[in-house]
A = this chain, B = another copy of it.
């Protein structure tokens, strides 16, 4: 059961440890004949490189930490999946942390990952403000890319969907289908998704109705809030409920059905994100799909460059979403 080491392979192939290392890691040119011998010996003995030793020596673990608020948020699994694939494809492994939506836990997880010498950190911050200190500290030590949510200007590179463009897509569609009394059901707080989607609504809704930009109800990104929002808003008979994410929309749909409202005839309902639930809702939800694969690819790409630290200007990448028209509006 004793592991086969470079030394064993060197012994078996009659050359030095250094040469074996060079062959197997492909670091430097090696004679064709020698290389063959070494590879054969390695194969025969079942040599498996020890990444820990390699990491200690080369100061690179080939590991990236993925820190997110709550894996149970239905938008994240598909993102995690894409990230995992993108990173494993480059031979990097993913350490996962779930922060329970708590900035203190988040700070602890970041610290733990730093102690484990992750090469880089991929982070979806819990909170725009309360995550900032830990994020900034980490960004000074390793390459760090913020995903999906921001964390204040200049803190780190970030990749996210273009929320304003997504909202514009929704508003255009609603305008084109004749809606004139829209209402925005959003989330309070400073999270970038909340802020940007709301701002985009305020900026674009006037095209449907001069009064529209003022019709805003703010809660949080939950199904419960979607239900509650309907109770509050339905009496004023909006003809479109523009929800800041799919969970809110799902709650709204549910409550509207209970109230006997006819969706989409009486009122359209739209979401944002296109989580798996969206296609299953009744009626199936019209929503804005995030370009999850590209977000992941872009994040992985950004991680590649630079040794982290304070250097250089921060990059902010915004990717275009696309509208998925289903039955709800």
Contact = CB atoms under 8 A, between A and B. Distances in A.
A88 B81 contact: no
A134 interface: no
B52 A56 contact: yes
B81 A98 contact: yes
This chain: how many copies in the complex?
2
A85 to B, nearest CB: 7
A21 interface: no
A114 B4 CA distance: 13
A104 to B, nearest CB: 13
A223 interface: yes
Interface in A152-211: none
Contacts of A61: 52
Interface residues of A, number: 48
Nearest to A113: B93
A309 B115 contact: no
A290 to B, nearest CB: 14
Interface string A22-41: 00000000000000000000
Given A51-B115, A66-B96, A80-B98, 5 more contacts: A48-B115, A71-B84, A88-B112, A94-B95, A95-B95
Interface of A: 1, 48-53, 55-56, 61, 63, 66, 70-72, 74, 76-78, 80-81, 84-85, 88, 93-98, 100, 109, 112-117, 141, 223, 250, 254, 257, 276-277, 280, 282, 309
